[in-house]
Amino acid sequence: MSTATASPFRYQGWSLFSLLAALVLLMTGLILVLNPDLAEGVRSAIRATARSSFALFLLAFTASAFAVLVPAPLSRSLVRERRFIGLAFAFSHLVHAVLIYSYGQLNPEFWPGRTILGNVPGTVGYVFILLLALTSFKTTTRLIGFKAWKRLHVTGMWVLAAIFAYSNFKRIPMSAWYVMPFGLICAATAIRLVGKLAQANKRLHTPQRAA
């Protein structure tokens, strides 16, 4: 392989997904083992997997924009590995969901203390995560058609970005720490929009080849 086309990622494809999934599981396991109180350990793991999911989502959400705005081997590799980063995000959020369910079993007051309205964003988010994950394979892409696939994935990513923004914004009064992830999702949104504008401008000024 030539150095010009070599990927800066040592792990690629399913090996990259396996590495990221293993790191999520290792992080979760260490938090649970090192915390003497199981319920508190699960709560800490819920917060940790929320952050790992958020980080992986940001990478997948901004990959194409960075490839346009900052063309480099790293940004191009992010685009190539975006599918597997997205699947790792889905896996991280699956672990997050299992932990939430487990915490509900350990703390009987958890679910009764939540409202149906309060559960709507999370439910919608998980529906889209499931749909995006299931349609991240060539077989399902061919089954629904490329146009439908594109529409679903673009819509799904924007819906998830909105849910992340809302989830962090509503928690700012509880802790000023949530200003940082809220600012990050706003910055990621701006980067994606600027990337789309730059891509559209590039197409507009690219001379069309004669038939």
Chain segment 30-72, per-residue pLDDT in tens: 999 999 999 999 999 999 999 999 999 999 999 999 999 988 8
Q: Average pLDDT over the chain, rounded to whole?
A: 90
* CB of 111 closer than 8 Å to CB of 144: no
Identify the three-state secondary structure at position 103: helix
Whole-prediction pTM value?
0.89
Quick one: pLDDT at residue 112? 85
Query: Mean pLDDT over residues 86-95, rounded?
Result: 97
Checking if the pLDDT of 155 tops 50, the result is yes
Quick one: pLDDT at residue 55? 97
Sign for the CA dihedral angle at 129, 50, 56, 160 comes to positive
Query: Mean pLDDT over residues 4-20, rounded?
Result: 80
Checking if the pLDDT of 128 tops 60, the result is yes
Checking if the pLDDT of 183 tops 90, the result is yes
Query: Mean pLDDT over residues 70-94, rounded?
Result: 93
* CB of 148 closer than 8 Å to CB of 21: no
Sign for the CA dihedral angle at 22, 28, 31, 32 comes to negative
Query: Of all residues in the chain, what percent are helix, strand and coil, respectively (each to 5)?
Result: 80, 0, 20
Q: Which two tokens stand for residue 158?
A: 């924007």
The pLDDT-based confidence of 204 (bands split at 50, 70, 90) is: confident
**119 vs 190, higher pLDDT:** 190
Checking if the pLDDT of 109 tops 90, the result is no
Quick one: pLDDT at residue 116? 85
Enter the DSSP assignment of 210: P
The pLDDT-based confidence of 4 (bands split at 50, 70, 90) is: very low
